[in-house]
Amino acid sequence: MEMALEQELILVIDYGSQFNQLVTRRIRDLGVYSELHNPSITVEEIKALNPKGIVLSGGPKSVYKDDAYKVDPAIFDLGIPVLGICYGMQLMMHNLGGEVVASKTREFGQTVVSLDTEKPIFKDLQNQEKLLMSHSDKVTKIPEDFIKIAETTNCEFAAVQHETLPLFGVQFHPESKHSINGDTFIKTFIRDIAGCSGEWTMENFIDIEIEKIREQVGDKKVLCAMSGGVDSSVTAVLIHRAIGDQLTCIFVDHGLLRKGEGDMVMEQFGEGFNMNIIRIDAKDRFLSKLKGVSDPEQKRKIIGNEFIYVFDDEAGKLTDVDFLAQGTLYTDIIESGTETAQTIKSHHNVGGLPEDMQFELIEPLNTLFKDEVRALGIELGIPEHLVWRQPFPGPGLGIRVLGEITEDKLSIVRDSDAILRE
């Protein structure tokens, strides 16, 4: 089994398009691992990642303006296949001697594109395809040694390629569902042009991550905060498969869980997977802190802070624990802000640890999207009804109770929630 850093990779450079995560997802869905990286990535960093192919994404800026995101032109000399999409194509043309200008006729929406299907990049496509266009700039001159391979009524250079090097640019968005046969085009690039095998699966992911976890942890111990939610459950089961009893889970029952949820966690994971889980009954402690509090945001903060205090207290009772496992997802990292996107939210799994908690982090899911985590859970043997259950945020029923939280109100909400789910 190859190590994770040696697995086939398509690198997507993020120039701020609303479709950037979708590009990465489409590639993964076709069986090839893909990652988003900032435009500031250097050629040396790219070499270290050793990608089979590079995608320059779309984006909202204009390549000829001062605030445009840049690319190191040396990328085009690496010998690695490069596909520029929309802004990415314009960036390639701009850097290699072409011209990009504001278009008098903008193209937005599904558009009929005429393709030169004799070119290998368009194999398995028709001479005319309906593809999504979304651009207000256009290429008016292509660099030397590039040729036109597609056009529309309003866009002379809808796609181009270098005559001898594996450099391609398309003005359309093949990753969009509005691009008919867009997946076919992407598959041709990653499989035939970039030479990927298309064998990235959750089964292979498990093998790779187990090897990484064992190498990182060695004979040391790992602590995991388990909530019963999908992310923490999959994290715990994966790590347990790698290191067995070296993992200890702390399950904080704050009294705000759904009906029977605490017992379910212990039964399914403690008994079903034979995991070492310490269950902490902290109901009275949480309700005491929440007494007299009606504001929803204040309740969230109290619950979040108290959870950390309880977890910290229990963790302090354990000895020789060096690692803390978290269920951070790829989207958590993306949502916490990149060079091309403002922070949507400061995610609770990114930078939310107390400063005095001296653990090394293990985040085995931090390259996966949510539905990939669910697929991983199924592959690990977690029952489908748990993997696909309704998401349940950390504050639990506490944010469903209007006004002050009391045991009577919790009981009513808990029973009504159970009836609704049944």
197: exposed, middle or buried (Cβ count in 10 Å: 0-12, 13-18, 19+): exposed
Which pLDDT band, with edges at 50, 70 and 90, does 125 fall under?
very high
The arithmetic mean of pLDDT across residues 224-238, rounded, is 93
Cα separation, 24 vs 36, whole angstroms: 7
Residue 197 has pLDDT above 60, yes or no: yes
Do residue 171 and residue 238 come from a single domain? no
Which pLDDT band, with edges at 50, 70 and 90, does 103 fall under?
confident
Do residue 89 and residue 229 come from a single domain? no
Do residue 22 and residue 97 come from a single domain? yes
Give the pLDDT score at 99. 93
Task: Tell me which of 94, 135, 162, 173 is the catalytic residue.
Answer: 173
Place of tokens 């489908």: 384
Q: Domain boundary at 159, 193, 227, which? A: 193
Do residue 182 and residue 252 come from a single domain? no
Higher-pLDDT residue of 378 and 18 is: 378
CB 139 within 8 A of CB 160: yes
The arithmetic mean of pLDDT across residues 372-386, rounded, is 95
Q: What are phi and psi of 163, to 5 degrees?
A: -70, -30
Range of the domain at 338: 202-421
CB 387 within 8 A of CB 237: no
> pLDDT of 262-301, one tens digit each?
899 999 999 999 999 999 999 999 999 999 999 989 999 9
CB 78 within 8 A of CB 43: yes
Do residue 42 and residue 25 come from a single domain? yes
SS (H, E, C) 175-195: CCCCCCCHHHHHHHHHHHHCC
Which pLDDT band, with edges at 50, 70 and 90, does 260 fall under?
confident
Whether 231 has a binding-site annotation, put simply, is: yes
173 carries an active-site annotation: yes
Q: Domain boundary at 193, 219, 237, which? A: 193
Whether 233 has a binding-site annotation, put simply, is: yes
Do residue 157 and residue 262 come from a single domain? no
Do residue 119 and residue 222 come from a single domain? no
Whether 229 has a binding-site annotation, put simply, is: yes
Give the pLDDT score at 396. 82
> pLDDT of 9-32, one tens digit each?
999 999 988 888 899 999 999 999
Do residue 284 and residue 411 come from a single domain? yes
Do residue 42 and residue 71 come from a single domain? yes
Give the pLDDT score at 72. 92
* Average confidence score pLDDT of the chain: 89
Number of structural domains, the chain? 2
CATH number assigned to the domain comprising residue 399? 3.40.50.620
Task: Work out the end-to-end distance of the chain between its first and last CA atoms, rounded to an integer number of angstroms.
Answer: 43
Which pLDDT band, with edges at 50, 70 and 90, does 202 fall under?
very high
> pLDDT of 31-90, one tens digit each?
999 999 999 999 999 999 999 999 999 998 999 998 899 999 999 999 999 999 999 999
Whether 227 has a binding-site annotation, put simply, is: yes
Which pLDDT band, with edges at 50, 70 and 90, does 319 fall under?
confident
Residue 334 has pLDDT above 80, yes or no: no
Whether 230 has a binding-site annotation, put simply, is: yes
**16-38 CB burial, b ≥16 within 10 A, e <16:** bbebbbebbbbbbebbbbbbbbe
Do residue 242 and residue 172 come from a single domain? no
Task: Tell me which of 8, 107, 129, 175 is the catalytic residue.
Answer: 175
The tokens for 410 are 């919790």
The arithmetic mean of pLDDT across residues 372-387, rounded, is 95
Q: Domain boundary at 140, 168, 193, which? A: 193
CATH number assigned to the domain comprising residue 187? 3.40.50.880
Do residue 33 and residue 142 come from a single domain? yes
Do residue 77 and residue 217 come from a single domain? no
Task: Tell me which of 8, 86, 135, 314 is the catalytic residue.
Answer: 86
Which pLDDT band, with edges at 50, 70 and 90, does 355 fall under?
low
CB 286 within 8 A of CB 257: no
Whether 198 has a binding-site annotation, put simply, is: no
Give the pLDDT score at 2. 41
